[in-house]
Structure 1
Amino acid sequence: MVKKGADEMTTVILAEKPSQARSYVEVFQKSTKKQGYYAVSDPVLTQNTFITYGFGHLVELATPEKYDEKYKHWTLSNLPIMPDNYKFIVPTDKKAQFKVVKDLLSKADTIIVATDSDREGENIAWSIMNQAKINLKTKDIKRLWINSLEKDAILNGFKNLKDGWAYYPAYKEAQTRQISDWLVGMNGSPLYTLLLRKKGVHGVYSIGRVQTPTLYMVYQRDQAIKNFKPEPYFELTAEVLANQQKFVAKLDPYQRFKDEKCLITFMQEKNVQKGRQPGLIKSVAKTAKKSASPRLFSLSSLQSAINKQYHASASDVLKAVQALYEAKLLTYPRTDCAYITNEEFNYLVSNLVKYLGLVSANVSLNQTEPNKRYVNGKKVQEHHAIIMTKTVPTKEKLAALPKLQQQIYDLVLRTTLAMFAEPYEYEETNILIAVAKANFKATGNVPTKQGWKTLFNENSQKKDSKNITLPAVKKGQQVQVDLKTPQKETTPPVPFSEGTLITAMKTAGKTLDDEEAQSVLKDVEGIGTEATRANVLEVLKKRGYLITQKNKLHVSDQGVTLCKAVELEPLLTSPAMTAKWELALKQISQKKRTQDNFLEQIKKFVTKMIHDVPGQMEQSKSLTDQVKKQQVSEVKANEQAQLGTCPLCKQGKIVDKGRFYGCTNYKADKSCKFTLPKKWSEKTIGKTAIKALITKGTTTKLKGFKSKKTGKKFDAKLKLTNGKISFDFN
């Protein structure tokens, strides 16, 4: 074998998608565009370097029918489906690009994996390399690992390439996740669909290792709200008049009373009565307090914050952050980390004046020493928190961005700058008032230094309810007290929003809205990953299981049926169990567990599910009741969807078939081929007009038709003759 000289060696850079490849090409000194790849040259590259790309996943797991024709039709007897070896295929529409990539990889001496710097990026690259059937042991495999698409970051990344094989375990983890999801979905979906069809429910029911427990969390919340019975209770509060100023104090220690009798007994014991009576200031305690700025953003905390503030979906937030990353304005988005390293801190410090120019707040950013609340290299494993890049846009460039991108950049900017501002400082005052034998406490906060809050005040319309200014009183001072006994009711749980559901997924069902509480949940793995959670929610919405109403998520009737069916199999619905799976998957990339070990667990679960679920569903009364309820709603929906009896076969009903209106016997009975178009002479024909055609054979005069000959618009009636539609100018 003749050894190649340095000038004959070929390097191939494999990007994830065309836009990413272009970002790399733009930083190199010379480039020539070819069909499906670029020839590039630059001092940081070796000679004979080419950049090629996938379209995301060029290689996918084959569906069951690719293993055996019998799997084309779902039957319970075909389950479980568990191949000995998993087949991967290249979709037809991606074969041309795959051939380009394969040919280049085959000739390469060095392959630089330059897909997204995460597990899924590894999966995309290694799947392509394996499918190309090349001997990877004969190649020098390197890894480009960057946090930004800025020119400096890319060039620095290519100067400091990492060992590609070091990331191979991350690929095995991602592939195992892909296969395990395939096993659960390809067995669970036909299992539940066929069993529900036996019970008389139509449609296809999709099961997913992550999507099913996520849906079930929303279902449980909906049920808790639906079954909630408000309970009345009484409070005892004091309206205190001191120095001509009124303020409210609550019972200390606070308690509520389940009925009036308990309240009266308490008041008698404490020798107090409703209405006005004297009180005494027992103590006045003032404490100076500080509050640190919010933690830096991970993807999920950013999705939560933006959803809360602007009601954007998790998927839309991810797309917008990705666009800001590709525009070189924000760092890598799919991160679960809330920390940065000293390196990022230093470049932020050097650009503070420029960043501050983008906000109108008059705030001092003098905290330029790293604080471990935000800067901790030991906590940054793969990617740091989402922050601004060194590229600082002009106000004009920001204003030209889509609205959501502007809102996201602004929030990331202010949150990042806040760590350089002084703490928010306030004085907390606690006043204890004695009324006979009862004590009441009032708490008020007086801001003494706005600090980092100045950055957010200009955007905030809400006043801080905690900032209650109390009058200056002294210990031993006599005051007038008006005791009140308001009757209240307990409140139901709050429905999930996409933001709070993302948080619940991250904390494995422990719905902690407070970021401090989340941060102390050591070793709790969420369900899904930062990269996949938004997609899980989108899938649940597209399949009609989740519906959004005024930023609140609820489960549809179809979703309720699925939840009633799956709740009998706790391993499918348990966020805690799914979180343990995520932890086990992570152990694969840490080389603490093998792919085979994990997949054996999944196979055991699938086998158990196929064995247990038919009996469970047969015995479930609540599922039977729900099926009946859904059948009634399906009948109503079908009746509402019917536009009239078919004028051709006189038996079927005319319904909306997507691209046209047609007879319900159109598919089942090929002899009835009656259809009506949705558009006629460039005018959309509405359902009212279709009903009129079917029942009367003609419509009233309709506006907005367009002549093919003249291009002019005109009005006309439509008529139906022998199943054919035409104009009626009479």
Structure 2
Amino acid sequence: MSKALFITEKPSVAAEFAKALKINGRKSDGFIESDKAVVTWCVGHLVTMSYPEKYDIKLKKWSLNTLPFLPKSYKYEVIEGVKKQFNIVKSQLLREDIDRIYVCTDSGREGEYIYRLVDEMAGCPDKQKRRVWIDSQTEAEIIRGVKEAKDLSAYDNLSEAAYLRAKEDYLMGINFSRLLSLVYGKTVSTYLGKSYIVIAVGRVMSCVLGMVVQREREVREFTVTPFYRIIGSFNVSEDCNYDGEWKAVEGSKYFESPILYNEGGFKTQEDAENLIGELRDSSIDNNVLVENISKKKENKNAPLLFNLAEMQNECSKKFKINPEQTLSLIQALYEKKMLTYPRTDARVLSTAISKEIDQNIKKLMKLNGNTEINNIAKNIIEKKWYSGIAKTKYVDDSKVTDHYAIIPTGEGLQNYSSLKEMEKKVYNLVLRRFLAIFYPPAVYNKVSVITKINKERFFTSDKVCVELGYLEVLKPDNESNDRESTNMKFLSLLKKGQTVTLKELVVKEGKTSPPKRFTTGSIIIAMENAGKLIEDEELREHIKGSGIGTSATRSGILTKLEKIEYIKSNNKTQVVMPTLLGEIIFDVVKNSIPTLLNPELTASWEKGLTMVTQSEIPGDIYMDKLENYIVKNTDRVLQLNNGLRLKSKFDMASEFY
């Protein structure tokens, strides 16, 4: 009797598939078998690309004469440490009694690549092959994924993009690392007093190193600039005062004046003091006018859901853990069936999942050990706040590619009480962000006052939260639960055209701040946004295009840069800084192949891979561009002669170490 074969990425996932599909057979060495099906597994990557010496033994020796290395066809080999499991998987693929194969590796580009390499090394057996694509490891999702599995060929473009990505990293790494090491390695090692230094270069790695070094140099070169603001204190009644800040808006004597630092401050204290003198002279009996007052209500909606990058940034800020640790924790919660697939770029839900999202919420009502969450979930269900979610910004199919945002499945709740402390913190973070989107917006009362002295205006604004809405779920540290503030009461009493008393005018010195160093979390956000560190969460979502690396690879790039000692991060603050070696390597790359440091160019490579996945460009066009880039830059470096210039750059960097 013919059988089905299920191939997963890890043994633990294989166990979940066997359980969900009721494959209650004997567990053999490397597979599980019943009378109807077999489940086997990879252990991550089983196959890798061969080093150049496998093409020609002469290529083992690094030489400029053999660069660039651009094979016509690529060689692959089984990874030495996992040969046994590869042979088990291969033997199952080739069994005569197996007529259909279900590919159940992780639902993403890397998972696709893992299986396709195994399939290729096993001789591409001529059998029916279907791709299982799931968003979580719950039993229902596994069963759905198997039932709706598409023919593997439907993912051929994704597979092609995966192969191209691997070839790109391989070619850039081998060619440029050998090239720069041969041309500049001796210069670098002599400067640092080392016997030999390999200059490691990578498509994404070099770009991220560039971001860290450039930010560090911006901090170093920053000059603090003082500026001088004017604050007015105004008296409404004996016990009622408010402050306003002067701004040189249109109509002001100082509008667009060159003596201003910005519209709210002067370059010198003397000019600020002069204005104060003028204002005092022009206010008769210290009476000044309330020129305008506006009152309005402002609604603020819950933030979008978490994708991996946002999650890594939040955990870096809140818990001071690095992105690799965050990914590991979310992966563990995914494998416990508690969260959906972690390696996602989407921050919204799909229309399909939004139609049945109430099921997730109902299950969360039964979360043991967290009465507050039970009540929040119960509130959403009883008030049917989930019913209109499909028409909100939280559901958008155009922003969902492989997977929707990270959300709780409502499953695996029996594991909650036994979670490690940090796992529980991470789970609760996702849980609250998810539940918050169903709550009404927070409502603020906002009052703005313009107080006029002669032609000059002082601006006052205050806002207070009058309805907590979703803030009841998220409880941010910086939100006050006070329904009214004393200042708001005073400001609300004011009327347009009213006279108030000028009590005091003072100069306050401000200082410009240097740019912030990256943290392990903020650099992930910057990578997602092609090198731009955009603080505003909503703005990030609006301008997001192709980033540097992918959600699956970004944390690994940081880990590698630390391992080779190009960067370092502080465990307590998570602040990232370069090492002297990192700065020297940066200068080598900048003065030889500067485009490797360009975030927009690096992001465009990633965009190209996406276009291959979506059939917008053929893979051979992408490959031609890649090979031309390598040939052009190899020729360029061989014609340069900038050793002396580099020495002076190294000297400038070493002053800080």
Q: Which string of whole-angstrom CA distances, capped at 9 and with x for unpartnered residues, describes residues 584-619 of structure 1?
A: 111111222233221221222222222222554616
Partner of 1:493: 515
Residue 268 of structure 1: CA displacement? 6.4
- Which residue of 492, 495, 499 maps to 1:474? 495
Alignment of 1:342-353 (within 5 A): 342-353=351-362
Whole-angstrom distance in 2 between the partners of 1:144 and 1:272? 79
Residue 572 of structure 1: CA displacement? 0.6
Amino acid at match of 2:596: L
Whole-angstrom distance in 1 between the partners of 2:586 and 2:357? 48
Secondary structure in 2 aligned to 1:492?
coil
Answer whether contact 2:276 2:505 (CA < 8 A) is retained: no
Q: Does 1:79 align with 2:92?
A: no
**Inter-CA distance 118–40: structure 2 relative to 1 (3 Å threshold):** farther
**Inter-CA distance 315–283: structure 2 relative to 1 (3 Å threshold):** same
Answer whether contact 2:363 2:411 (CA < 8 A) is retained: no
- Which residue of 296, 321, 339 maps to 1:330? 339
Residue 403 of structure 1: CA displacement? 2.3
**Inter-CA distance 438–388: structure 2 relative to 1 (3 Å threshold):** same
Partner of 1:694: none
Whole-angstrom distance in 1 between the partners of 2:272 and 2:34? 82
Q: Does 1:128 align with 2:128?
A: no
Answer whether contact 1:444 1:467 (CA < 8 A) is retained: no
Whole-angstrom distance in 2 between the partners of 1:630 and 1:439? 48
- Which residue of 414, 428, 432 maps to 1:414? 432
Q: Does 1:229 align with 2:249?
A: no
Q: Does 1:389 align with 2:409?
A: yes
Q: Does 1:113 align with 2:107?
A: no
Q: Which string of whole-angstrom CA distances, capped at 9 and with x for unpartnered residues, describes residues 45-90 of structure 1?
A: xx3x211111111110011222222232323233211111111000
Answer whether contact 1:237 1:484 (CA < 8 A) is retained: yes
- Which residue of 295, 298, 308 maps to 2:304? 295
Partner of 1:102: 90
Whole-angstrom distance in 2 between the partners of 1:38 and 1:427? 62
Partner of 1:206: 200
Partner of 1:725: none
Secondary structure in 2 aligned to 1:512?
coil
Secondary structure in 1 aligned to 2:25?
strand
Q: Which string of whole-angstrom CA distances, capped at 9 and with x for unpartnered residues, describes residues 626-678 of structure 1?
A: 445789999xxxxxxxxxxxxxxxxxxxxxxxxxxxxxxxxxxxxxxxxxxxx
Residue 155 of structure 1: CA displacement? 1.4
> Which protein has the larger Cα radius of gyration, Structure 1 or Structure 2?
1
Secondary structure in 1 aligned to 2:339?
coil
**Inter-CA distance 60–83: structure 2 relative to 1 (3 Å threshold):** same
- Which residue of 520, 538, 553 maps to 1:516? 538
Q: Does 1:532 align with 2:553?
A: yes
Whole-angstrom distance in 2 between the partners of 1:597 and 1:350? 46
Answer whether contact 2:234 2:500 (CA < 8 A) is retained: no
Residue 620 of structure 1: CA displacement? 6.1
Q: Which string of whole-angstrom CA distances, capped at 9 and with x for unpartnered residues, describes residues 665-710 of structure 1?
A: xxxxxxxxxxxxxxxxxxxxxxxxxxxxxxxxxxxxxxxxxxxxxx
Q: Does 1:305 align with 2:314?
A: yes
- Which residue of 30, 39, 56 maps to 1:36? 30
Amino acid at match of 1:543: I
Q: Does 1:251 align with 2:246?
A: yes
Partner of 1:692: none
Whole-angstrom distance in 1 between the partners of 2:267 and 2:241? 28
- Which residue of 572, 578, 585 maps to 2:602? 578
- Which residue of 437, 440, 449 maps to 2:455? 437
Residue 267 of structure 1: CA displacement? 4.9
Residue 262 of structure 1: CA displacement? 4.0
Q: Which string of whole-angstrom CA distances, capped at 9 and with x for unpartnered residues, describes residues 312-337 of structure 1?
A: 11111111111100000000111111
Amino acid at match of 1:613: V
**Inter-CA distance 461–572: structure 2 relative to 1 (3 Å threshold):** same
Answer whether contact 1:291 1:425 (CA < 8 A) is retained: yes
- What's the TM-score, normalizing by structure 1? 0.80
Q: Does 1:602 align with 2:626?
A: yes
- What's the TM-score, normalizing by structure 2? 0.88
Unaligned runs of 5+ in 1: 1-7, 42-46, 635-730
**Inter-CA distance 277–70: structure 2 relative to 1 (3 Å threshold):** farther
Aligned residues: CA RMSD: 2.6
Answer whether contact 2:130 2:152 (CA < 8 A) is retained: yes
Partner of 2:233: 239
Secondary structure in 2 aligned to 1:235?
strand
- Which residue of 339, 351, 364 maps to 2:348? 339
Answer whether contact 2:31 2:38 (CA < 8 A) is retained: yes
Partner of 2:477: 460
Answer whether contact 1:62 1:89 (CA < 8 A) is retained: yes
Secondary structure in 2 aligned to 1:179?
helix
Whole-angstrom distance in 2 between the partners of 1:508 and 1:200? 29
Amino acid at match of 2:99: D
Amino acid at match of 1:460: D
Q: Which string of whole-angstrom CA distances, capped at 9 and with x for unpartnered residues, describes residues 208-231 of structure 1?
A: 001111110111110100000111
Whole-angstrom distance in 2 between the partners of 1:576 and 1:467? 47
Whole-angstrom distance in 2 between the partners of 1:36 and 1:532? 28
> Relative contact order, CA 8 A, sep 6+: which one is greater?
2
Secondary structure in 2 aligned to 1:130?
helix
Whole-angstrom distance in 1 between the partners of 2:482 and 2:218? 28
Q: How many residues align?
A: 614
Answer whether contact 1:341 1:376 (CA < 8 A) is retained: yes
Whole-angstrom distance in 2 between the partners of 1:230 and 1:629? 21
Q: Which string of whole-angstrom CA distances, capped at 9 and with x for unpartnered residues, describes residues 414-461 of structure 1?
A: 01100111110011100111123211111101211000001122x637
Amino acid at match of 2:321: A
Q: Does 1:553 align with 2:576?
A: yes
Whole-angstrom distance in 1 between the partners of 2:480 and 2:467? 16
Whole-angstrom distance in 1 between the partners of 2:209 and 2:608? 22
**Inter-CA distance 306–633: structure 2 relative to 1 (3 Å threshold):** closer
Amino acid at match of 1:134: C
